[in-house]
Chains A and B, each alone.
Chain A
Amino acid sequence: MKIIILAQEKENHTAPIQWALERAGYQVACWAGLSWTEEQQASLLLGQHPNMVLGRHAVEPGDVVWVRQPGDPGHNPKVAEADRKFAAAEYHRFYDSIAYMLETLPVWCINRFSASRIVKNKAVQLRLARTCGLKIPKTLMSNSPGAVKNFIDHNPGRTICKAFAPHLWQSEDGGVAVNGTFELSREQLPADEVFTLAPGIYQHMVVKQFDVRTVLMGSNVYSYGVHTANNALDWRRDAGIGNIEVEIIATPGDIESGILAFAKKAGICFGSMDFAVDMNGQWWFLEINEQGQFLWLDAFNRESKLQEKFCAFITALEGSTQPLEEREGLFPSFIEYEELRRQLQPKHEPLDIAAAAPGSPHMSLEP
């Protein structure tokens, strides 16, 4: 059995997990996704027994495939301009064939591609969560000015606005802005047409005590209270600069049942969920990222041991109900990895947004 990680080796969760697994004696292979280079080529042979090769790695029965973060399919840039669209589309279709095909092979996918595609949809997430007994804030997704204004007018409390995905903007003077969750009052509403420029997510604000990040690994649910100094609406920015406290907390029984029911309905076995805990102690489901980051919790609270738990999870049998704590001691910690990385790679290379923005769907330059 080997573990195949669909991501670049340097990816921020792949590198530590690969290191930890190999230290414990497991065989790990990384495949960065479909592209024209030799390492990223792929082949599917369909005969009596299907055969799949990802880069230099044959997919074999019993393998575990962690679909962490494969790159978008990339066609060979040498292709004639007149063939570019065709080549790009064929690369995407071939990648879909690979990803869906994996589900039909005797391997364990974390998560299955079909499940991950649907559960990434924020509307579906909320709907599923509600049907599984989790509380969700009343939410409108819309590009209709009338609908948005009506939603805010009929909300007895406060309203927040957020986007479907993060985005960065860099101005000419080098300033960087990042979108996030922000409060929107009736008095702040822009001209109607602005609502049609981009759809948005509008939601009744949960006046919260604190945030919770919950990590699902099979039948195990781990919850962490995330506290910021000023109880920020969106804790991610504070987390990015280390201004948070992470506390291990118990998951209430009804919430754990709801999460496990959600996972069953969605067909996923792994993911990171965000909740807000209100002043009455009620947990409100906000969203799930089926490949959401989780190792940062170890960085803020050494007792989390999520790196060890995740390694125990993906090296167990699919569907195992053995507590991960029983095997977590086999693997080194994220803190050990970080110490090693700092010694080997002390300098942090700054991100060049201006260079990256033209080709990135998540970054823009502005005047």
Chain B
Amino acid sequence: MLNDNNDVRVLSRMGARELNPEESEQIGGSNGVIPSLLSVIRTGVPIGSDYHLDE
């Protein structure tokens, strides 16, 4: 089921699933549960670049 029939949002966002709070907490990564959608590595380098895509 598509979530949002807004004609300026991308199809993948329309098909994206909202996470519940428990799921949101688990998307962390290196210091949390694996597998994670994002592997989180806090390095102190410019913000954002310390988050890696992981599948």
Contact = CB atoms under 8 A, between A and B. Distances in A.
B7 A168 contact: no
Judged by DSSP, the binding face of B is loop
Nearest to A175: B18
A10 B30 contact: yes
Nearest to A358: B48
Nearest to A239: B35
B42 to A, nearest CB: 7
Contacts of A10: 30-31, 41-43
Given A180-B17, A195-B11, A293 B48 contact: no
Chain B: interface size category: 35 or more
Contacts of A194: 7, 9-11, 14
Given A190-B2, A348-B31, A11 B9 contact: no
Judged by DSSP, the binding face of A is loop
Nearest to A177: B16
B27 A293 contact: no
Interface stretch (A47-55, A68-76, A204-212): A68-76
A355 B31 contact: no
A351 interface: yes
A72 B47 CA distance: 12
Nearest to A77: B46
Nearest to B14: A190
A337 B22 CA distance: 24
B30 A293 contact: no
Contacts of B47: 355-356, 358-359
A179 interface: yes
Interface in B14-50: 14-19, 22-43, 45-50
Nearest to A12: B30
Contact of A69 (B37, B45, B52): B52
A102 interface: no
Contacts of B11: 161, 184, 190, 194-195, 197-198, 200
B12 A200 contact: yes
B29 A12 contact: yes
Contacts of B36: 12, 240, 293
A32 B49 CA distance: 12
A241 interface: yes
Interface of B: 1-3, 5, 7-19, 22-43, 45-55
Give 6 closest A-B pairs by Cβ, nearest first: A359-B48, A182-B15, A360-B48, A198-B10, A12-B30, A177-B16
9 contacts: A162-B12, A182-B2, A182-B15, A188-B1, A190-B5, A272-B55, A350-B28, A355-B47, A356-B48
